[in-house]
Chain A
């Protein structure tokens, strides 16, 4: 930022962007599309990566015959290569009213941009779906690939505003109505919903998506500063809850928060996914280059 060069995005610094461009996603499974991409499929293909040899049979392309082997052994063997396929990265950004608190939405947009850039620069199909209720604003960036798509991605995320009462399970349902293809879904949300997410996660899993849950909590949620008798008002629904001696309940609150995180982590892991809870106040560099790398989400 201090270099004086023009910032490519308001979401984060150019230096961070440069580092992100050199990173790539590290999915647990090869959930790829048949269209060619840069993710190596398990079956044979035409990439430069050697896979195995097999006996030549009539009809095989003789260009694949390893002539050096033939020269030594006088028998034709066909050289096989790994097939490179495309991975569909879906970014699901929770932009409901609750995410507006403590810059959680901004953090979600930063991370979504970082994941999207990693996908696009590694020739993946990247789409974005935003769960919000903001008039005259699109809630979906259709799938696209390639470096030119980066600009569109960044513009879309920069313009995304938060608002509305859209539970994350509703956002998942809506997303699945438009989504096609296997790959990864990165859910950037606070996951504060009254509903059990098992059903929604099952639907994601059955759609061929590896679930990466990234919970973003604000400071007021990680360490709420409340005392005495209060009437809590839900920012989304407007519902109220009377609390007596709130400071006496903080221990229970923390226990409940950790329990929720454990449940979400368990639900994601059982579906071959990942879960991580982050503090919205943490700098993006720390999250991207340290925590996500250490947890094996991305590779540098």
Chain B
């Protein structure tokens, strides 16, 4: 059985007004005393009437009863009850509130954000059941335990602020699912704008009631920002601006280089008509670019109006190739912007790319390594080299290093074989991904260690026909591109909010990451000189400080076409079922039916009844 909930439960204090009513009634009710000879006959009359009319006892105080009912109905109406058709009947109700960037957009025609609306509606669920608050954006977060404490819940709700992150439901649902093992959760309520990923890889162990808040107003925003190196010190900066409405919206795009505006343009965008801008930039030094968007008319979401991009210092790619690998050296040295080191005794210890036929790099290191004819020490005993010929059976065509590489009909003068009872899975368990497979064993492996990636050609390319194939220069170019991207020398992408991209700093040092709001986080760089895991929930510029000095700056932007479009999904696709997301108004009508008007009508009827009864009694006395 469903019980009504109250929007204004504190109105129950007005029930104390019943006490003075009762006191006044009993003070006022003074019946005229009438002395008679004996009560014998009248007592018999009353006894007889009580037998024949069991409600006489109530009728004696009918006026009081009517007044009490009238007052109760008025107070109940004041408490604004509503009958929920939703899951509020469950004792434990997790309430999930979307805090993604799109929830910060204002409701059309008001200054209220959609998160404010969601918080207001969520607060109406408090009091009648055990509620636990969860927030979600890119990840889920528990705000409170299950409680009936209105004060605690409202405090948690009050502190909830929108983030500049994309909305995802799966993470928070997993958190709630963990709670469902401890609490009998029948259904969870989600307050969202519907701007979430519609496909969720999650098996729902409970029901989901998705309540969408009002749609946001028109919005324009930057959804993409990156740069491509076009010359030694030349960059093309790409910007994509998108809108949220079917009608064209105008906005001014301004690009700032180290705080100075360097380019400006006007954008006209709509929901399905984004506009791409290209701004050429010349700089050889590290530069922080900032793109800013100013809508000509209203703009519902501010977080997507700014994007940041860090351009590294322009330099050539540093490549070390073992002198014996002629084919690789020839393939690389013809490529532009390359500093090739093919000396026998190299002193340089840091490269962007190393191509070697030995596992021993003699102290040198690079984020991208290509080993030729090397079996990783970890795989010794799992794969071996035998005499014979091998063919390429299959290869991973989507691997960056093998993109557009045709390996069919490549002849290999070595036979790479698995040891007995060894298969691809055993290699994968050790962190090696098979990119090229031969008939009896793997031919090319890839291993990732953080940002570092190593490619192992288990056969020697000089003992194959590969260097004589068209695929070889493509393969070499792919390896170089891989190194260029890794060193951010060819293409740079703006960092989205969430976590800052790994930053190259001095190894094993303490750094402080200062957010745009001034919050500071202490982090230690890795032994390889990477600073990772810095949280970046808000759009803006993050400064990396060492001993109080800014050593590096990086900016983040929302850069989410989904958030900028403010579009809503009508159905969430789960592993086993789909959950419809109700329209804002329809959902509210179905789930919360106000009852105050029924009570007010009842009070009016009782008022009429009381008036009739009172007038009738007075008429009879007269």
Residues of A within 8 A of B49 (CB): 249, 252
| Size category, A interface | 35 or more
Known: A228-B617, A229-B617, A232-B34. A243 touches B42 (CB 8 A): yes
A84 within 8 A of B: no
Known: A244-B59, A256-B45. A231 touches B34 (CB 8 A): yes
A230 within 8 A of B: yes
Residues of B within 8 A of A22 (CB): none
B362 within 8 A of A: no
When chains A and B are docked, how far (Å) is the Cα of A242 from the Cα of B620?
Answer: 17
Q: Is the interface of B mostly helix, strand, loop or mixed?
A: helix
In the complex, the answer to whether B42 meets A241 with C-beta atoms within 8 Å is: yes
In the complex, the answer to whether A194 meets B40 with C-beta atoms within 8 Å is: yes
Choose among B35, B617, B620 the residue that contacts A233 (Cβ–Cβ < 8 A): B35
Rounded to whole Å, the gap between the CB of A144 and the closest CB of chain B is 32
In the complex, the answer to whether A247 meets B35 with C-beta atoms within 8 Å is: no
- Residues of B in contact (CB 8 Å), total 23
Residues of B within 8 A of A221 (CB): 36-37, 41
Q: Which of B31, B42, B46, B49 neighbours the largest number of chain A CB atoms within 10 Å of its CB?
A: B42
In the complex, the answer to whether A256 meets B34 with C-beta atoms within 8 Å is: no
When chains A and B are docked, how far (Å) is the Cα of A221 from the Cα of B372?
Answer: 128
In the complex, the answer to whether B39 meets A226 with C-beta atoms within 8 Å is: no
Rounded to whole Å, the gap between the CB of B33 and the closest CB of chain A is 5
Residue of A at shortest CB range from B62? Answer: A244
In the complex, the answer to whether A228 meets B620 with C-beta atoms within 8 Å is: yes
In the complex, the answer to whether B41 meets A260 with C-beta atoms within 8 Å is: yes
Q: Which residues of A215-252 have CB atoms within 8 Å of chain B's CB atoms?
A: 218, 220-221, 224, 226-237, 239-245, 247-249, 252
In the complex, the answer to whether B36 meets A235 with C-beta atoms within 8 Å is: yes
Residue of A at shortest CB range from B52? Answer: A252
Choose among A98, A241, A244 the residue that contacts B43 (Cβ–Cβ < 8 A): A241
Choose among B33, B37, B43, B45 the residue that contacts A194 (Cβ–Cβ < 8 A): B43
Residues of A within 8 A of B37 (CB): 97-99, 101-102, 104, 190, 192, 218, 220-221, 235-236
Q: Which residues of B80-98 have CB atoms within 8 Å of chain A's CB atoms?
A: none
B260 within 8 A of A: no
Choose among B46, B48, B621 the residue that contacts A243 (Cβ–Cβ < 8 A): B46
Q: Which residues of B56-79 have CB atoms within 8 Å of chain A's CB atoms?
A: 59-60
Q: Which of B38, B40, B44, B60 neighbours the largest number of chain A CB atoms within 10 Å of its CB?
A: B38
When chains A and B are docked, how far (Å) is the Cα of A230 from the Cα of B30?
Answer: 9
Q: Which residues of A237-285 have CB atoms within 8 Å of chain B's CB atoms?
A: 237, 239-245, 247-249, 252-253, 255-257, 260
Rounded to whole Å, the gap between the CB of B26 and the closest CB of chain A is 13
Choose among A192, A229, A247, A248 the residue that contacts B41 (Cβ–Cβ < 8 A): A192
Q: Chain A, 158-191, contact with B by CB distance < 8 Å: what is the 0/1 string?
A: 0000000000000000000000000000000010
Residue of A at shortest CB range from B59? Answer: A244
A193 within 8 A of B: yes
Residues of A within 8 A of B43 (CB): 194, 241
Rounded to whole Å, the gap between the CB of A102 and the closest CB of chain B is 8
Known: A229-B31, A243-B46, A249-B45. A234 touches B39 (CB 8 A): yes
Choose among B32, B40, B41, B617 the residue that contacts A230 (Cβ–Cβ < 8 A): B32
Residues of A within 8 A of B44 (CB): 256, 260
Choose among B36, B41, B621 the residue that contacts A256 (Cβ–Cβ < 8 A): B41
Known: A220-B36, A227-B620. A253 touches B42 (CB 8 A): yes
Choose among B33, B41, B60, B620 the residue that contacts A253 (Cβ–Cβ < 8 A): B41
Known: A221-B41, A242-B31, A243-B46. A232 touches B620 (CB 8 A): no
When chains A and B are docked, how far (Å) is the Cα of A101 from the Cα of B40?
Answer: 15
Residues of B within 8 A of A104 (CB): 37
Residues of A within 8 A of B46 (CB): 241, 243, 249
Known: A192-B41, A194-B40. A226 touches B617 (CB 8 A): no
Residues of B within 8 A of A256 (CB): 41, 44-45, 48
Residues of A within 8 A of B621 (CB): 227-228
Residues of A within 8 A of B32 (CB): 228-231
Residues of A within 8 A of B60 (CB): 242, 244
Residue of A at shortest CB range from B36? Answer: A232
Known: A252-B48, A252-B49, A256-B44. A241 touches B31 (CB 8 A): no
Residues of A within 8 A of B41 (CB): 192, 221, 253, 256-257, 260
30 A-B pairs with C-beta separation under 8 A: A97-B37, A104-B37, A190-B38, A194-B43, A220-B36, A221-B41, A224-B36, A226-B34, A227-B620, A227-B621, A228-B620, A229-B32, A230-B33, A231-B32, A232-B33, A232-B35, A232-B39, A233-B34, A235-B35, A235-B38, A236-B38, A241-B43, A241-B46, A242-B31, A249-B42, A252-B49, A253-B42, A253-B45, A256-B45, A260-B40
Known contacts A101-B37, A236-B37, then 8 further A-B pairs from the complex at CB < 8 Å, ordered by chain A residue: A97-B37, A99-B37, A221-B41, A228-B621, A230-B32, A231-B31, A253-B41, A253-B45
Nearest 5 A-B pairs (CB), nearest first? A192-B38, A98-B37, A228-B621, A231-B31, A101-B37
Q: Which residues of B pack against A, CB within 8 Å?
A: 31-46, 48-49, 59-60, 617, 620-621
